[in-house]
Chains A and B, each alone.
Chain A
Amino acid sequence: MEKIKIFWKKIIQTGLWKLGLFFAFIGPGIITSNVDNDAGGITTYSLAGANYGLSLLWILIPVTAALIIIQEMCARMGVVSGKGLSDLIRERFGAKITFYLMIILLLANLGNTLCEFAGIAASMEIFGVSKYISVPAGAVFVWWLVVKGNYKSVEKVFLLACVFYLSYIVSGFLVHPDWSAISKAAITPHLNFDAGMLTMAIGIIGTTIAPWMQFYLQSSIVDKGLKADSYKYSRMDVIFGSITVNVVAFFIVMLCAVTLFQNGLKIETAKDAALALAPLAGSYASMLFAFGLLNASLFAASILPLSTAYTICEAFGWESSLNTKFVEAPQFYGLYSLMIFLGAGIILLPGVPLISIMFYSQVINGILLPFVLIFMLLLINDKRIMGNFVNGRLMNIISWATVIILVALSLAMVVSAFF
């Protein structure tokens, strides 16, 4: 027994050392991408696969390209200016615009946080835990992270847990799909002009390119304190991260397409997807799916309120540090608490219309995204901020085209929500 203990200790010691080395190379880009595969993302991907089969798979390729283009600009701004996005927006566009932008961001992120807690509730229900236990426990856990202030190390634990995303890929291979059909679907653009499919396509784009990500990515890059000459590593990090997120998305869509869609099962939530997988792909696949959802929700639920509070306090110049006491940084802790309290609280209300809350939070995101993207493009072309690192002509054409398409799609979604 004693021997096993020593052996185990040795493994942990040496293993942790190697793990540390591994995470030293992992950058903000990859973390952001992994947070991006949150409850909302997994739900959207499963619905896309289950309801439309392989026909929407192709959209992930242009989405990856758009994600890379936008995140690269964020990373470049972070490295060159050394400032967060809300900081730059405030200094360039003034107090009024920033104030309203931050209010919309707060609402949008509150909606997103709500989705994360809904994800925690849904995934734990698959394991037979009532939401009246799992959601408060999740909220307390997220709260505890900040009170203890060792968020950085927890981030690494979550990242490790992100290896569970591989479970989607493994499950994807386990069901022995028809690869030739899949690769054909992946490169053949296909879109019916029926409202449902169009909404789903916009949903995939919206959940992959979310406004809060740009703020979060840029501030994590600033936190890393990289200099302009090491920018190429940041770019690699962002590109690798953007591809990773969409590879996982690809496998979720595919998994749901070849199991649920081919058997004609209709689902409404990620929980349905996990439950429906059990008879088709085995209970392990179902459990893994649920665990992946739990991990993603918890990870995003820890980051979203924190990132929101940071972003807003940065814009308004309020004290925002985990090392301060509540009375020293009342706005920071107030915002953070409000996000968790409302996010977890609303889920627990009996008879809350969850699906429409999620839908409207997507709409608010859709309203916010055009502003954020246009501000980003104006900032990145500002020589006073970016110096020689402004967009080149080709990059401007590509990025403006991307942004115009994204803005048009966001507007289409917002308009369709009201009519």
Chain B
Amino acid sequence: MAINREPQVFLFLSKILGRNIVGATGETLGRIYDLTAEFVEPYPIVTGIIFRSAQKRNPVVLPWKDVVDMDQSISVSVTSIQDLSALHLREGEVLLKDALLDKQVVDTDGAKIRRVNDLHFLKTRHGLHLVHVDVGFRGLMRRVGLIRVFDAIFQGLFDYKLPDHLIPWKFTQPLSSPDLLQLNIAQNRLSQIHPADLADILEELDIKQRAAVFQALDVETAAETLEETDPKIQVSLINDLNSEKASDIIEEMSLSEAVDLIGDLPKAKAEGILKEMEKDIADDVKELMVHPEREAGGMMTTSYLSFRPSTTVREAMDKFRQEAADVDLVYYVYVTDEEERLLGVISLRDLILADADQILEDIMDERVASVKLDDKHDTVAEQFAKYAVTAIPVVDETEKMHGTIIFKNLLEIVAPHLGK
């Protein structure tokens, strides 16, 4: 069984750049300066060679299809550089060295920012494909030109050869220009990263890249990431957006996070965003913004479910299924009277386990712990510790329920003071 195997060779960009280009007549035309590539899936394919020559001032492009052989020098089928055109990038085409080499990329698998030391190509009969980026120390040594010395030292001292640190292209998100971020939007690699990791990455990036990366995210990922980001950076990211886009993202955030963020924004910006928001969300936000951030009223969310005591379990479950996707707190439902006075609480477990025809009054727990609107954060923390719940309802003097504090939101206020 004879299979005609494709000749496959791996190549590094550092070994390609600077090579001589030899024309059909055996004359040296110039030296390779950069490569152009088209960003196609799964691997970008090299479309042309940019080189400088003695005759022309501006670099010229040689289409990759004219390459005959790649050895120590690169043989091409062109005879004279007069036939070649000046550099003009087509849609979707990128200068590889210019856009990637020595620049920062996100390793979406490891959720880290890396600097590209080299690019790793696979040469097949169909062309030259970009398959890996090299971010390792060996790659750096290769660029510096000390790779042999370095390998010899490692071999001599430790009897060990340091492996190349290559990241597969599919886990690589280039950052160097906003265009590159837009280019990959169809299969946005950044959304593969957990929002909390993405937030860490944003915090590490410089101010321009940060804005570019953030704006390349889809609304939902942007909202989740924003929730995990440092408040100062939240403000600067939102400030860079127009009110319409900003309000789209903020609407997707959990209510209490959204309130904190809008409270931190400059007044004019905050008003602009509130105007753009859906009216009912904007009303909720405005209501919550009245309370100071470190009091129970400022930590609570108004996005929870409450029912009358006479509601049946079946009705409650139906409503729950319809609305739970947009509700901040789902682990408890509250039972209130006509004047919104808090009567009892039912955990999600009890609700699911209960008979569908029972009414809520019969299954609710009346011994419900609550805090007042103006209780301070340490009082709230004490209540959480004492009653071991994951959310505490907030009431006023008349026992009227205003919202509920989710443990996570308390943690955000208290956590910065822990362990210090």
Contact = CB atoms under 8 A, between A and B. Distances in A.
To the question of whether A and B form a pair in one complex, the answer is: yes
Interface of A: 81-83, 87, 90-91, 94-96, 98-100, 222, 225, 227, 316-317, 319, 321
Interface in B166-212: 176, 204, 206-209
B122 interface: no
Contact of A99 (B112, B135, B140): B140
Interface stretch (B49-57, B113-121, B392-400): B113-121
Contacts of B135: 317
A94 B140 CA distance: 10
A82 B144 contact: no
B143 A96 contact: yes
A99 B144 contact: yes
A319 B140 CA distance: 15
Given A95-B144, A99-B140, A225-B236, A317 B209 contact: no
19 contacts: A81-B208, A82-B208, A90-B102, A94-B101, A95-B117, A95-B140, A95-B144, A99-B140, A99-B143, A99-B144, A225-B232, A225-B236, A316-B115, A316-B140, A317-B104, A317-B114, A317-B116, A317-B117, A317-B135
A99 B142 CA distance: 11
B103 interface: yes
B115 A82 contact: no
B145 interface: yes
A222 B102 CA distance: 20
Across the A-B interface, give the 4 residue pairs with the lowest CB-CB distance, nearest first: A317-B115, A95-B143, A82-B206, A82-B207
B20 to A, nearest CB: 20
Contact of A95 (B102, B207, B208): B102
Interface of B: 101-104, 112-117, 135, 140, 143-145, 176, 204, 206-209, 232, 236
Contacts of A98: 102
A32 B116 CA distance: 31
A333 B259 CA distance: 39
Given A99-B140, A316-B115, A94 B207 contact: no
Given A90-B115, A91-B176, A95-B143, 4 more contacts: A91-B102, A96-B143, A96-B145, A98-B102
A316 B104 CA distance: 10
B204 A94 contact: no
Contacts of A81: 206, 208
A91 B103 contact: yes
Q: Which of B112, B117, B206 has the most CB of A within 10 A?
A: B206
A317 B117 CA distance: 9
Nearest to B205: A82
A222 B232 CA distance: 15
Contacts of A83: 206
Contact of A321 (B104, B115, B204): B204
B113 A225 contact: no
A180 B400 CA distance: 79
B150 to A, nearest CB: 11
A82 B213 CA distance: 14
A79 B69 CA distance: 47
Contacts of B206: 81-83, 87, 222
A321 B201 CA distance: 12
A98 B140 CA distance: 10
A19 B116 CA distance: 44
A371 B344 CA distance: 73
Nearest to A78: B206
A94 B232 CA distance: 33
A174 to B, nearest CB: 43
A204 B213 CA distance: 45
Contacts of A317: 104, 113-117, 135
Contacts of A90: 102, 115
Contacts of A87: 206
A195 B26 CA distance: 60
Nearest to A323: B200
B207 A225 contact: yes
B208 A94 contact: no
A404 to B, nearest CB: 28
A408 B102 CA distance: 31
B209 A94 contact: no
Contacts of B176: 91
Given A82-B206, A222-B206, A319 B112 contact: yes
Which interface residue of A82, A90, A99, A317 has the most chain B CB atoms within 10 A? Answer: A317
A296 to B, nearest CB: 29
A83 B209 CA distance: 10
A316 to B, nearest CB: 6
Contacts of A321: 204
Nearest to B104: A317
B236 A94 contact: no
A82 to B, nearest CB: 4
Contact of B102 (A82, A94, A100): A94
Contacts of B113: 317
Nearest to A331: B137
A46 to B, nearest CB: 40
B60 to A, nearest CB: 21
A312 B207 CA distance: 20
A81 B205 CA distance: 12
Nearest to A93: B102
Contacts of A95: 102, 117, 140, 143-144
Contact of B207 (A91, A96, A227): A227
A98 B141 CA distance: 12
A225 to B, nearest CB: 5
Nearest to B233: A225
Given A82-B209, A321-B204, A94 B103 contact: no
A98 B206 CA distance: 20
Nearest to B105: A317
A225 B145 CA distance: 36
Nearest to B208: A82
A331 B144 CA distance: 18
Contacts of A316: 115, 140
Contacts of B145: 96
Contacts of A96: 143-145
Contacts of B116: 317
Contacts of A319: 112
Nearest to A79: B207
A87 B208 CA distance: 14
B62 to A, nearest CB: 23
Nearest to B97: A94
Contacts of A222: 206-207
